């Protein structure tokens, strides 16, 4: 007995030393924690409930048999629920469209993928049950309140906020939240929750035909997730990427991934394309007269997500060449005379060019990857300038809101705060993707205000993970300011240690 | 999971909306516009749809009036003529570069219905 006590004391001491959090807590692996929780339910809670049912039956029906039959009948499903809540939820409760039941089972029985955030896990299953149902405003509000009341909101809460946004049709906000969730450290987000976020993003990109984004998401190293990885590999073959795998490796990736039936058709499509066929290479040559140049330009605009930068630049170059052609100006002059107009042909052509640049700016805002091609094209450069100005204006406006709220010490609900941060971060990330050279300017615009706001969230609102996420994003882009980078690292450490 | 249509403004070119050639005279422009307004006023649903070189589109009385107003200004008209004179798709440059979308992706992960909102 003495020896056992010594072993237990040494174990507790070792676990406390391993704890990344404050001295008062003991760190336990999620599996161990869930096992203790389930043992507690099985050995104490459910027997207590069974005894109560037994005596209730005895009192009501004056027969011990009724109570014992009921207690025994309920005991078996209760055991299954406690031991294996995930299959019960995914195969029975969610298809039966019982969102509140799904929430409580997730909350109480701790499915393994969501053990660290039981409320978040419950809400996830609640939303999954809800989306198959189609509509229930009251239940969505009820689920949202569960998350809002759960401090502190960690990674699972961000995924839940994203699911709720997607469910109400706000795809942009959902995308921003899932992009944040996908880049959270693995200690903040379970693998299962990350898979949900990444799968949504992959589906969103694949439905739009944005295969480059599918490849970027699926090929992420930490951590690699089976389904998104398999779809990314299939996408490489579809677009003729240089790193496309041979057929047998594609089959292997597909076999090891879930949802094989759903992705089989996509796999067959990919295998029908020869390896490294470079489907998106610029094969087309754009004719230089304006009607044909415009036809090519229209195709590139329509298929922006599927095009590469080279096709985009080539089509814009063709339009530019047609506009600079003396014949175009002469035709415009002729038409002006025929219509009795007093305008200047050069002014009309300049106006036309301005509208082309507007269309380019809209396209680049949506698909920044199109800006990265060899050979500068003046109209694209001007479009980038316009997009950059718009993006900076948007970022400044959001930072002003942070500044005002930090000054007045007013915080929104935690889900809304995550949404606001996710949208701001997304805007900044898009700008940096479009124009990497503006990183220093973006950082200088955002860092003092966002850092102070994060400190407010950290110290006053105790939203440590939100603060950590803001600090870490700023720190990643702080190469131009070493002193700020040091401060942000200290803040990150503080938030992580207390979180 | 839908994105904005980058060609929506282009399809609303006044010549496409009124379904007339860029060489139409002023009288022909007015006649086409008034005819469409009359058809839309009596509720002819066929008049709400029109074809463009960039695919089908829809119109209403407001759009038709805006098209007529744009073509009454000669400088504006020349600008719209440039946009409307587009080669038919498939002529000259075949687009071999587009990889199709995966429309069934949502059902692969069970995203079947959305809350109407």
**B13-69 per-position pLDDT tens digit:** 999 999 999 999 999 999 999 999 999 999 988 899 999 999 899 999 999 999 999
Measured distance CA(A314)–CA(A298) in Å, rounded? 13
pLDDT in tens, A166-180: 888 888 999 999 999
Higher pLDDT, A130 or A477: A477
Measured distance CA(B106)–CA(A262) in Å, rounded? 10
Residue A404 has pLDDT above 90, yes or no: yes
Q: Which residue of A has its CA nearest to B71?
A: A339
Residues A197 and A181: beta-carbon distance below 8 Å: yes
pLDDT in tens, A270-286: 888 877 655 554 445 55
Least confident of A56-60, B87-91, B94-98: B94-98
Closest CB from B89, B101, B105 relative to A295: B89
A318 burial (CB, 10 Å; 0-12 / 13-18 / 19+) is: buried
- The verdict on A18 touching B (C-beta cutoff 8 Å) is no
pLDDT range class, residue A81, cuts 50, 70, 90: confident
CA A184 to chain centre: 10
Measured distance CA(A358)–CA(A255) in Å, rounded? 46
Q: What is the DSSP letter of B92?
A: S
Mutate to test the interface with B, among A89, A102, A203 (most CBs of B within 10 A): A203
**Which of A189-198, A250-259, B11-20 holds the top average pLDDT?**
B11-20
Please name every residue paired with B56 in a beta bridge, in sequence order, or none if there are none. B51
Chain A residues whose beta carbon lies within 8 Å of the beta carbon of residue B96: 279, 283-284
The residues, ordered by sequence, that sit 6+ positions from B31 with a Cβ below 8 Å of its Cβ are none
pLDDT range class, residue B91, cuts 50, 70, 90: very low
Measured distance CA(A410)–CA(A408) in Å, rounded? 5
Residue A90 has pLDDT above 50, yes or no: yes
pLDDT in tens, A92-122: 888 888 888 889 988 888 787 777 777 888 8
Mean pLDDT to the nearest integer, A248-263: 89
Min distance B29 CA to chain A CA atoms (Å): 13
Question: Please, which residues 52-81 of chain B have a Cβ atom closer than 8 Å to chain A?
Answer: 53-54, 74-75, 77-79, 81
Residues A244 and A275: beta-carbon distance below 8 Å: yes
CA A451 to chain centre: 23
Min distance B42 CA to chain A CA atoms (Å): 33
pLDDT in tens, A339-363: 988 888 999 999 999 999 999 999 8
Judge: B98–A366 Cβ closer than 8 Å, yes or no: no
Residue A49 has pLDDT above 50, yes or no: yes
Mutate to test the interface with A, among B72, B77, B87, B97 (most CBs of A within 10 A): B97
Domains of chain B: 8-108 (1.10.287)
Residue A26 has pLDDT above 60, yes or no: no
Mutate to test the interface with B, among A262, A338, A350, A370 (most CBs of B within 10 A): A262
Residue A386 has pLDDT above 50, yes or no: yes
Residue A304 has pLDDT above 80, yes or no: no
Please name every residue paired with A53 in a beta bridge, in sequence order, or none if there are none. none
How many Cβ atoms sit within 10 Å of the Cβ of residue A39?
11
Residue B18: predicted pLDDT: 96
Residue A54 in tokens: 């037994």
Residue A452: predicted pLDDT: 95
- The verdict on A272 touching B (C-beta cutoff 8 Å) is no
Residue A281 in tokens: 């290479």
Residue A462 in tokens: 């105790």
Find the distance separating the first CA and the last CA of chain B, reported in whole Å: 14
pLDDT range class, residue A223, cuts 50, 70, 90: confident
- The verdict on A260 touching B (C-beta cutoff 8 Å) is no
pLDDT range class, residue B113, cuts 50, 70, 90: very low
Residue A121: predicted pLDDT: 84
Least confident of A36-40, A118-122, A236-240: A36-40
Residues A133 and A124: beta-carbon distance below 8 Å: no
Mutate to test the interface with B, among A288, A339, A357 (most CBs of B within 10 A): A339
Judge: B96–A279 Cβ closer than 8 Å, yes or no: yes
Nearest to A340 by CA among B67, B43, B75: B75
Residue A102 in tokens: 């799904």
Task: Tell me how long chain A is.
Answer: 499
- The verdict on A278 touching B (C-beta cutoff 8 Å) is no
Question: Please, which residues 324-343 of chain A have a Cβ atom closer than 8 Å to chain B?
Answer: 332, 335-336, 339-341, 343
Mean pLDDT to the nearest integer, A376-387: 90
Nearest to A432 by CA among A473, A467, A402: A473
Q: What is the pTM (predicted TM-score) of this model?
A: 0.81
Q: Number of A to B CB contacts under 8 A, please give it.
A: 181
Residue A111 in tokens: 């499915």
Residue A288: predicted pLDDT: 66
Chain B residues whose beta carbon lies within 8 Å of the beta carbon of residue A225: none
Judge: B115–A169 Cβ closer than 8 Å, yes or no: yes
Mean pLDDT to the nearest integer, A464-483: 93
pLDDT range class, residue A152, cuts 50, 70, 90: low
Min distance A308 CA to chain B CA atoms (Å): 9
Q: What percent of chain A has pLDDT over 70?
A: 83
Residue A221: predicted pLDDT: 67
Residues A115 and A33: beta-carbon distance below 8 Å: yes
Residue B94 has pLDDT above 50, yes or no: no
The residues, ordered by sequence, that sit 6+ positions from A73 with a Cβ below 8 Å of its Cβ are none
Provide φ and ψ at A94, rounded to 5°. Answer: -65, -50
pLDDT range class, residue B103, cuts 50, 70, 90: confident
Chain B residues whose beta carbon lies within 8 Å of the beta carbon of residue A265: 104
Judge: B74–A206 Cβ closer than 8 Å, yes or no: no
């Amino acid at each position: 007995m003495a020896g056992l006590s010594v072993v237990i004391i040494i174990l507790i001491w070792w676990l406390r030393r391993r704890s990344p959090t404050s001295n008062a807590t003991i760190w336990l692996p999620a599996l161990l924690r869930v096992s203790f929780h389930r043992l507690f339910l099985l050995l104490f809670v459910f027997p207590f409930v069974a005894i109560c049912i037994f005596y209730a039956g005895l009192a009501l029906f004056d027969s011990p048999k009724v109570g014992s039959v009921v207690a025994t009948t309920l005991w078996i499903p209760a055991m299954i629920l406690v031991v294996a809540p995930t299959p019960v939820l995914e195969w029975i409760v969610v298809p039966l469209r019982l969102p509140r039941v799904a929430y409580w089972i997730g909350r109480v029985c701790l499915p393994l993928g969501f053990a660290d955030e039981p409320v978040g896990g419950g809400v996830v299953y609640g939303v999954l049950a809800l989306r198959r149902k189609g509509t229930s405003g009251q239940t969505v509000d009820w689920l949202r309140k569960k998350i809002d009341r759960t401090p502190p909101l960690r990674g699972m809460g961000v995924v839940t906020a994203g699911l709720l946004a997607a469910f109400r049709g706000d795809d942009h906000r959902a995308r921003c939240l899932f992009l944040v969730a996908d880049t959270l450290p693995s200690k903040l987000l379970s693998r299962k929750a990350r898979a949900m976020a990444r799968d949504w993003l992959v589906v969103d990109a694949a439905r739009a035909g944005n295969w480059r984004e599918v490849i970027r998401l699926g090929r992420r190293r930490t951590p690699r997730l089976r389904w998104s990885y398999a779809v990314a590999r299939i996408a490489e073959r579809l677009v003729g990427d240089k790193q496309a795998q041979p057929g047998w490796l594609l089959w292997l990736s597909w076999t090891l991934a879930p949802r094989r039936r759903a992705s089989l058709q996509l796999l067959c499509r990919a295998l029908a394309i020869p390896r490294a066929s470079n489907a998106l290479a610029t094969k087309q040559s754009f004719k230089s007269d304006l009607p044909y140049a415009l036809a090519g330009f229209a195709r590139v605009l329509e298929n922006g997500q599927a095009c590469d930068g080279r096709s985009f630049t080539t089509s814009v170059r063709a339009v530019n060449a047609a506009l600079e052609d003396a014949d175009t100006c002469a035709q415009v002059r002729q038409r002006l005379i025929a219509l009795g107009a007093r305008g200047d042909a050069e002014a009309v052509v300049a106006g036309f060019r301005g509208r082309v640049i507007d269309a380019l700016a809209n396209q680049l805002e949506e698909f920044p990857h199109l800006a990265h091609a060899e050979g500068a094209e003046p109209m694209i450069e001007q479009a980038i300038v316009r997009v950059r100005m718009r993006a900076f204006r948007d970022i400044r406006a959001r930072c002003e809101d942070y500044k005002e709220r930090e000054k007045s010490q007013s915080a929104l609900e935690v889900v809304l705060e995550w949404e606001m941060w996710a949208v701001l971060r997304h805007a900044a990330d898009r700008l940096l993707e479009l124009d990497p050279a503006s990183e220093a300017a973006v950082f200088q615009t955002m860092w003092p205000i966002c850092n102070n706001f994060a400190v407010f969230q950290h110290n006053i609102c105790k939203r440590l993970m939100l603060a950590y996420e803001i600090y870490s994003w700023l720190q990643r882009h702080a190469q131009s300011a070493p002193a700020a980078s040091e401060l942000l690292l200290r803040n990150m450490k503080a938030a992580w240690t207390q979180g | 999971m839908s994105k904005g249509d980058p060609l929506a403004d282009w399809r609303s070119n006044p010549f496409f909306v009124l379904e007339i050639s860029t060489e139409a005279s002023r009288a022909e422009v007015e006649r086409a516009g008034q005819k469409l307004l009359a058809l839309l006023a009596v509720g002819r649903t066929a008049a709400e749809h029109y074809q463009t070189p960039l695919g089908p589109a829809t119109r209403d009385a407001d759009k038709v009036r805006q098209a007529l107003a744009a073509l009454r200004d000669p400088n504006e008209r020349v600008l719209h003529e440039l946009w409307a004179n587009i080669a038919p798709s498939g002529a000259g440059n075949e687009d071999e570069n587009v990889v199709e979308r995966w429309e069934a992706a949502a059902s692969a992960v069970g995203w079947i219905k959305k809350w109407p909102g």
